[in-house]
Amino acid sequence: MNISANTLAQLEDRFRATLINSLPGLKSLHLVGTMSENGHSNLGLFNSVFHLGASPSLLGMVFRPGSQDHDTLSNIKRTGFYTLNNVLTSFYQQAHQTSARYPSGVSEFVECGLTEYFIPNFQAPFVAESTIKIGMELRELLPVALNNTTIIIGEIKHIQLNENILASDGYINHSLAGSLTVGGLDGYFENKPLERLSYAKPNQAVHLLKVKKEY
């Protein structure tokens, strides 16, 4: 099957959206926690978080068109802080429910049965049930004129995780953490590790990577 750009343009809207959303394959999955100006916690599900750099430690996230009116983006712009929380098998259905359009000021934590978790001197709520929690501070906001999306760039300020999922070389084992991934907007997948390979160099065969702390 070959699908040209002209054919894509003629497809039914929802079919095309589902096709393009699932086309890149499995993506990271995060619950994004924010706080409103009235002190209400907000929680939304995102599959658009991406690595941007390690020094400084930056992560990006894409907001689709129309997000200017949604609580997550407006809260981040107002406070400058937000959290990223992994999703586990034990609560993925509640996480999915946070994508429903609840009225502004209604807490998805309460409506979807998840637990707020705060740390001192940080304004945004974490998800207590998550095994990897990341506290972020907004550094840059980039409007994308091409399709009216918005990219936000944040710096990592806090990382909370269980020590047993962290290898001696800094690698985080998301399989042990129980992190789920997502295909498209509604297909959830469990992680199953294959192998870690050595750093690739010219004229040198790769080998299975062994670190001091085994899983």
CATH number for position 125: 2.30.110.10
Note whether residue 6 is domain-resident. no
User: According to the model, what pLDDT value does residue 68 have?
Assistant: 55
Strands ordered across the beta sheet of 26-27? 26-27, 180-183, 187-190
Query: Does any domain span residue 125?
Result: yes
pLDDT at 215: 47
Buried b (16+ CB within 10 A) or exposed e, 18-35: beebbeeebbbbbbbbbb
Model confidence over 111-161: pLDDT tens digits?
Answer: 999 999 999 999 999 999 999 999 999 999 999 999 999 999 999 999 999
- The stretch 162-178 carries a mean pLDDT of 93
1 falls in which pLDDT band (50, 70, 90)? confident
Task: Look at residue 159 and tell me if it is in a domain.
Answer: yes
User: Number of structural domains, the chain?
Assistant: 1
Alpha-helical (H) ranges within 58-193 are 71-79, 92-97, 108-112, 174-177
Residue 206 belongs to a domain: no
What distance in Å separates the CA atoms of residue 215 and residue 205, rounded to the nearest whole number? 24
Work out the mean pLDDT of the chain and round it to a whole number: 92
In a domain, 76, yes or no: yes
Residue 210 pLDDT grade (very low, low, confident, very high; cuts 50, 70, 90) = confident
* Residue 93 Cα distances to 2, 97, 151, 186, 188, angstroms: 35, 6, 27, 10, 10
Where residue 211 falls among pLDDT bands split at 50, 70, 90?
low
- Please provide residue 182's backbone torsions phi and psi, each rounded to the nearest 5 degrees: -135, 140
How much is the pLDDT for 193?
87
Contacts of 197 (CB under 8 A, 6+ apart): 206, 207, 208, 209
**pLDDT for position 65:** 86
Average pLDDT over residues 83-88: 98
Q: Are 87 and 95 in contact (CB under 8 A)?
A: yes
**Within a domain: 205:** no
Q: How far is CA 167 from the centre of its chain?
A: 22
Proportion of the chain above pLDDT 90, given as a percent:
77
Mean pLDDT (whole number) for 105-111:
94
Residue at 74 is within a domain: yes
34: domain range? 15-190
Looking at the domain assignment, is residue 211 inside a domain? no
pLDDT band at 70 (very low <50, low <70, confident <90, very high): confident
Lookup: tokens for 47: 């599959």
